[in-house]
Amino acid sequence: MFDHHASLRLQRTTRMVLVVLLLAGCASAPPITSWLADAGSDEYQRPGPSQVRDELLSESIKIGSDDCRGVVERYQPAVAGLQPSIPLIFAHGFLRDVANHRDFARHLASWGVSVYLVGHCSGGWSKGRANAPSEGARLLADMMRQVAEASGAQRVVYGGFSAGGRASRMAAFADTRTVGWLGLDPVDRIAAGVPPVSFPMYALFAPAQGCNAQQLGRTLSRSSVAGKAFEVSGTTHCHFEAPTDILCRAACGEPGTAAQNHMLRQRIFALATVFVRWRAELGGDQAALAWQAYDGVFKELVVQP
C-alpha cells in the first residue's frame, strides 16, 4: 500500500492506534470543495440500479516459488442479461486486503461493471530481501494477468490502490487486451522517455502528505497518449479504500467527520465509475467529459515529459 518508509511505520502502528485516533479526533477536518452539479457524474456517487452478486472464486492461488497464496473475489451485476464482457481486474495495496475494496467493487458492479478483486500475500513482500517490493509487484502482476485470462475476456481494464497500482500497471503494460488503467492514489514510478501506451491511464491522488507524501504515481499519466491525473482535495491515502480500517487511519490519517469522509469517497466512486464504464463500453465517452468537467474542482496534476 505504501512506500517503504510508510510501510515500516504501519507495522509499528498497532500498539499506538488508540493514541493516534484520539489525536486525530482533535485534528481539523479537511476542506470540502464544492461539487459541480452539472459535471455529468453526480448520479454515479450513489449505488446503481443493479443488485450485486459476489463470489469467492479462489482462496489458494499459488504465486511464484514462495509459499505465497492469493485470493480472487468477483462482483457482478445480478440483473440477467447485463453480464459485462470487459472486466476490471483490481489489486489492493501493501499490507492491505481485498476486504478494503469490497464497497468499491460492489458500487461498480451496481453500475454494470464486473470486478475481480485480486488478494495477495503482500505481507510477505518484506522478507528481508532488497528487491522484495519489486518482486512482489511482479508476482502480483502475473497473478492479475492469470485472472484476466481465466475470465475469458477479450479486453480488460486494470486498476489498483497504492502499491497495487504498480502491479496493475505492470500487468496492463504486459497484456495486449488492456483497454484502460485506473490508479487510486497509486505508488509507482516510470522513467521519462518510455514510449506511451495507447490505452487511457487515469489516476486519482490525495494531496501530497502522509503515506504517499511524494505522490509517487503522478508521472504515470504521461505514460499514456490519453492520461489524466487529479488530486482530490480533502482526501488522505485511506479515502481511496472502501471500507478502510483503524490501521490505515492510524498510519495515514483520515481527520474528517463521518459525513465528510463519506462524501469524499462518493466523489472517488463517481469518477472511478464513469472511467471504468467508459472503458468497459457501458457509458460511451461520458468519462472523458466528466473528468474534464472536474477541472477547477480538483487540481489536475500536470507532469512535464
In Å, how far are 113, 122, 123, 256, 290 from 271, measured between CA atoms? 14, 27, 30, 20, 8
pLDDT at 153: 93
71-121 pLDDT, tens digit each:
899 999 987 555 568 999 999 988 788 899 999 999 999 999 999 999 876
In a domain, 10, yes or no: yes
Residue 51 sits at φ, ψ, to 5 deg, of: -70, 160
The confidence score (pLDDT) of residue 35 equals: 36
pLDDT of residue 154: 94
Edge to edge, the sheet with strand 115-119 lists: 52-63, 68-77, 115-119, 88-91, 156-161, 178-184, 201-205, 227-231, 299-300
∠ CA 203-281-179 to the nearest 5 degrees?
A: 50
| Average pLDDT of the segment spanning 212-220 | 77
- pLDDT at position 24 over 60: no
Average pLDDT for 149-175: 93
Residue 86 domain-assigned (yes or no): yes
Residue written as grid cell 499514456: 224
159 Rama class: left (phi>0) / alpha (psi -120 to 50) / beta:
beta
Question: Is residue 39 assigned to a domain?
Answer: yes
Query: Could you tell me the CA-to-CA distances from 289 to 108, 245, 261 in Å, in that order?
Result: 19, 33, 25
Contact 165, 3 (CB under 8 A): no
State pLDDT tens for residues 287-305: 556 666 555 556 665 544 3
CA torsion, ordered 113, 92, 160, 175, to nearest 10 deg: -80
Lowest mean per-residue pLDDT among 152-156, 157-161, 213-217: 213-217
Residue 218 lies in a domain: yes
Instruction: Determine, yes or no, domain membership for 178.
Output: yes
Mean of all residue pLDDT scores within the chain: 76
185-203 pLDDT, tens per residue?
A: 998 877 666 778 999 999 9
Lowest mean pLDDT across 12-21, 194-203, 215-224: 12-21
| 169 located within any domain | yes
Question: Is 305 inside any structural domain?
Answer: no
CATH number of the structural domain spanning residue 139: 3.40.50.1820
State which residues form the domain around 210.
4-300
* pLDDT 10s digits, 25-66: 323 333 333 333 334 457 888 999 999 999 888 755 555 555
Question: Using 50, 70 and 90 to split pLDDT, how confident is the model at 163?
Answer: confident
CA distance 291 to 8: 35
> Residue 3 pLDDT > 70, yes or no?
no
pLDDT of residue 177: 96
Looking at residue 13, its pLDDT comes to 43
Residue 247 lies in a domain: yes
Domain count, the chain: 1
**If pLDDT is split at 50, 70 and 90, which confidence band does 122 have?**
low
Residue 217 has what pLDDT? 75
